[in-house]
């Protein structure tokens, strides 16, 4: 597999997957409603260089619901959402990110992994291209499944404000 790089533009609300400069994927995403930032509890999307530290959900059905990175056995439906309107839906697959820049997005209160920053699926009725998350990068379920299948643990991720 060629070397892969995920780039995420907060301004454009886009995720691109590159392999040897070729674009394999270019899709709309949803980053944090609170904008860019690295501090624990900020609800912001962290900037800088990251790595995919863990891939979670391989083989799970599309729309599988995850809580604390574990599948609950539920499959998301609008009816389930009506029964639990307060839930922050993490669906289908999770790519758990770890910062690579000490003092910026790694270690202490700025550590992306300790902040549980993921790229993950979200209900398909949620808008993409609009910042609405609590810090993570939300994707359509079909898009996160496709991305998940294309990137191994160790894939570099660059999150920028541009």
CATH of the domain at 139: 2.40.440.10
Full-model pTM: 0.96
The predicted pLDDT at position 1 comes to 66
Residues 17 and 23 sit within 8 Å (Cβ to Cβ): yes
Range of the domain at 129: 4-160
Encoded tokens for 68: 């604390």
- Quote the CA–CA distance of 30 and 64 in Å, as a whole number: 19
For the segment 105-136, what is each residue's pLDDT rounded down to a tens digit? 999 999 999 999 999 999 999 999 999 999 99
Residues 132 and 149 sit within 8 Å (Cβ to Cβ): no
Number of structural domains found in the chain: 1
The predicted pLDDT at position 2 comes to 78
Reduce the DSSP state of residue 89 to 3 states and report it.
coil
For the segment 42-70, what is each residue's pLDDT rounded down to a tens digit? 999 999 999 999 999 999 999 999 999 99
Average pLDDT of every residue of the chain: 97
The tokens 């501090």 sit on which residue? 39
- Cβ burial of 123 (10 Å; 0-12, 13-18, 19+) is middle
């Amino acid at each position: 597999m060629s070397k892969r790089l995920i780039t995420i533009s907060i301004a454009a609300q886009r995720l691109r997957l590159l392999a040897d400069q070729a674009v394999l994927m270019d899709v709309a995403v949803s980053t944090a409603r609170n904008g860019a930032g690295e501090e624990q509890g900020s609800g912001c999307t962290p900037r800088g260089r990251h790595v995919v530290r863990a891939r979670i959900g391989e083989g799970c059905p599309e729309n599988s619901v995850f809580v604390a990175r574990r599948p609950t056995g539920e499959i998301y439906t609008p009816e389930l959402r009506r029964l639990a309107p307060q839930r922050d839906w993490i669906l289908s697959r999770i790519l758990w990110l770890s910062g690579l820049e000490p003092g910026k997005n790694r270690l202490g209160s700025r550590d992306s992994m300790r902040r549980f920053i993921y790229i993950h699926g979200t209900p398909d009725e949620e808008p993409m291209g609009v910042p609405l998350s609590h810090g993570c990068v939300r994707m359509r379920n079909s898009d996160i499944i496709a991305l998940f299948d294309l990137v191994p643990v160790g894939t570099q991720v660059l999150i920028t404000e541009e």
